[in-house]
Amino acid sequence: MKEEKIIKQVSVFVENKPGRLAAVTEKLYEKGINIRAFTIAEAGDFGIIRMVVDKTDEAYKVLKDAGFTVSLTNVLGVEVKDEPGGLYSIAKTLADANINIEYVYAFTFGRDKALIILRVDDISKAIEVLEKENVLFKGKVE
């Protein structure tokens, strides 16, 4: 049941200029879509807004209809304690299994937890090793 453990990240292509992030988030706001985790990867004149939202399919559709270039990307969510060594244990687990992390971003939630969003080169192997550590995010992104 690996599918269930995969989180769909919404990736949006935007030019790096004033107002573009506002344009994207306005569309989500209008539909009452909540952003749970968020980062921007920039490369000079343009960038990619990456986010995990509560209503993924709806977010994809509203952005696509608004004319944005958007795609869904498979990522993993890992839940760790918000304390020293949290990320380290995950990174080490993946390193030992020779899995490369392409990018990662995180946010804290509740009082003492952090959710780490991971994009890796071998997602099914990553699920396997992280399952063993019992750290994969099990809840729903809501």
Q: Which residues bind other proteins (CB under 8 A)?
A: 9, 11, 13-15, 20, 41, 43, 45-46, 48, 50, 67-73, 102
Neighbour count for residue 81 (Cβ, 10 Å): 12
Measured from the CB atom, is 61 or 138 closer to other proteins? Answer: 61
Closest of 66, 91, 75 to residue 14, by C-alpha: 66
Measured from the CB atom, is 69 or 100 closer to other proteins? Answer: 69
Closest approach, Cβ 116 to other proteins, in A, equals 18
Closest approach, Cβ 124 to other proteins, in A, equals 18
